[in-house]
Amino acid sequence: MTMTQSDRRYHITTFGCQMNKADSERMAGILEEMGFNWSEDPNEADLILYNTCTIRDNAEQKVYSYLGRQAKRKQEHPELTLIVAGCVAQQEGEKLLRRVPELDLVMGPQHANRLEDLLQQVFDGNQVVATEPVHIIEDITKPRRESKVTAWVNVIYGCNERCTYCVVPSVRGVEQSRNREAIRAEMEELGRLGYKEITLLGQNIDAYGRDLPGVTATGRHLHTLTDLLYYVHDVSGVERLRFATSHPRYFTERLIKACYELPKVCEHFHIPFQSGDNELLKAMKRGYTHERYRQIIEKIREYMPDASISADAIVGFPGETEAQFENTLKLVDDIGFDQLNTAAYSPRPGTPAAIWDNQLSEEVKSDRLQRLNHLVSQKAADRSGRYLGRIEEVLVEDVNPKDPTQVMGRTRGNRLTFFKGNIEQLKGQLIKVKVTEVRAFSLTGVPIEKTELVPLF
């Protein structure tokens, strides 16, 4: 079997977070460089890759059911190549091969850039498991990106924190920052290709640069996220910058000031708080208090009163009392998030909290989740209200899947916005839109002018 046959087709199914999506785009880029073509239908593909996630139980179950179907197909089509990548691969390793012997390759997230080497071993007739920690080699591959307008750029891999509910440190390894020249070069290439918005990505992006050499006279690391923003903000063609995910423990006023000063950095902050109760934050080993979290938001609002704030929160963590849960409700009520990703705690194998004996019942967890979600929608609707009648800049990304006469995009504050228009003409453009309708998590408006004319896609 040769690896450059152009009639070979691949399909990737991605579960989970933005890091996984970015990894999938890179692996798709590698496969295309190798001569594979995308197949929309997995059943037509010669190579299937599941990029997996362990955070939610149902994602993990889905992987097994998809995999089971393809393993059956492989019994009739032995030339089919089956790959499991991502967090389930990292966590289960060899065990996956025992459970699904039809698998050809099991690879952890740190190995994404090595896909071609690993596949070479598979095509040489081996069953391969690649889950050992590696030093991530600088990424010279070209990702196949889903969007032509917005892109993610990894700036740091891994996480050195030890939050007691989280599998990331054990599956993604220790923090490894990319050097700023490589990040800028990737962004310049994206700018040349016509991308308008870039989100810098890391599981704990505030840790960026801690592992890179160099400190200032006062002992501060030379290459922090703040320094990186100043270093990359003028990349030509790129109009908007975002970054995620922030950790309250490391969020600095210097960073807030940079976001205020740099016009391309959007006034949108995603800072997970997880719980509004100090005892629980301690049990989660998050390393901050709700008071500290509130101070950060206050500081952001001092500099940028209109900034939008989003976060992640967990309810039903082991031992959470009703009063402790109410502290989370109180924080949500006081802050007024523009958006909040909520989840009922679900024990992940290999994490400390999974084996504690003070787990809560599913009823309690789902009741709390519902109550929190109810409050979140109310608060998000309040926050949306401020947009009514305002003129917002929207970066047009796509057609509204529910109404083909409308296009959709995001405001700088990350609100999804719809308005009438032709996607062929508007894709990738920044359009001023007057907001005429507001809902909790989206807006509708009318375009008032084009802020610029750019080549259409």
Task: Select 154 or 203, whichever has its Cβ closest to ligand SF4.
Answer: 203
- Cα separation, 106 vs 104, whole angstroms: 7
Q: Does 54 bind ligand SF4 (CB under 6 A)?
A: no
CA separation (Å) from 62 to 74, 88, 103, 165?
A: 18, 12, 16, 21
Q: CB within 8 A of 127, min separation 6: which ones? A: 97, 103, 104, 105
Q: In DSSP terms, which residues pair with 343 in a beta bridge?
A: 314
Task: Select 102 or 161, whichever has its Cβ closest to ligand SF4.
Answer: 161
Q: Does 166 bind ligand SF4 (CB under 6 A)?
A: yes
- Cα separation, 348 vs 86, whole angstroms: 15
- In the β-sheet with 37-38, what is the strand arrangement from edge to edge? 37-38, 9-14, 47-52, 81-85, 105-107, 128-130
The number of C-alpha atoms within 13 Å of 251 and in the hemisphere containing its C-beta is: 26
- Cα separation, 154 vs 243, whole angstroms: 10
Q: In DSSP terms, which residues pair with 167 in a beta bridge?
A: none
CB 141 to ligand SF4: min, Å: 24
In single-letter form, the type of residue at position 387 comes to Y
Task: Give, as ranges, the residues between 285 and 304 that touch ligand SF4 (CB under 6 A).
Answer: none
Task: Give, as ranges, the residues between 344 and 403 that touch ligand SF4 (CB under 6 A).
Answer: none
Strands 240-244 and 197-201: parallel
Task: Select 204 or 226, whichever has its Cβ closest to ligand SF4.
Answer: 204
What track of x and - describes contact with ligand SF4 for positions 168 through 207 (by CB under 6 A)?
A: xx---------------------------------xx---
CB 343 to ligand SF4: min, Å: 12
Q: Does 308 bind ligand SF4 (CB under 6 A)?
A: no
Strand, coil or helix: 404: strand
CB 169 to ligand SF4: min, Å: 5
CB 370 to ligand SF4: min, Å: 23
Residues flagged as binding site = 17, 53, 87, 159, 163, 166
Question: Which spans in 318-397 are helix H?
Answer: 322-335, 362-385
Task: Select 61 or 160, whichever has its Cβ closest to ligand SF4.
Answer: 160
Strands 391-400 and 403-410: antiparallel
Residues flagged as binding site for [4Fe-4S] cluster = 17, 53, 87, 159, 163, 166
CB 200 to ligand SF4: min, Å: 16
Q: In DSSP terms, which residues pair with 430 in a beta bridge?
A: 395
Q: Under rule CB under 6 A, how many of the chain's residues touch ligand SF4? A: 9
CB 288 to ligand SF4: min, Å: 11
Task: Select 143 or 169, whichever has its Cβ closest to ligand SF4.
Answer: 169
How many residues would you count in the chain?
457
CB 418 to ligand SF4: min, Å: 32
Task: Select 150 or 274, whichever has its Cβ closest to ligand SF4.
Answer: 274
Task: Select 159 or 241, whichever has its Cβ closest to ligand SF4.
Answer: 159
- Cα separation, 306 vs 411, whole angstroms: 12
Task: Select 155 or 166, whichever has its Cβ closest to ligand SF4.
Answer: 166
CB 164 to ligand SF4: min, Å: 9
The residue written with tokens 């080497």 in the block is 117
Q: Does 45 bind ligand SF4 (CB under 6 A)?
A: no
CA separation (Å) from 307 to 191, 289, 301, 411?
A: 25, 22, 7, 12
Q: Does 53 bind ligand SF4 (CB under 6 A)?
A: no
Task: Give, as ranges, the residues between 146 and 165 that touch ligand SF4 (CB under 6 A).
Answer: 159, 161, 163
Q: In DSSP terms, which residues pair with 144 in a beta bridge?
A: none
Task: Give, as ranges, the residues between 230 and 259 that touch ligand SF4 (CB under 6 A).
Answer: 247
- Cα separation, 23 vs 16, whole angstroms: 11
What residue ranges bind ligand SF4 (CB under 6 A)?
159, 161, 163, 166, 168-169, 203-204, 247
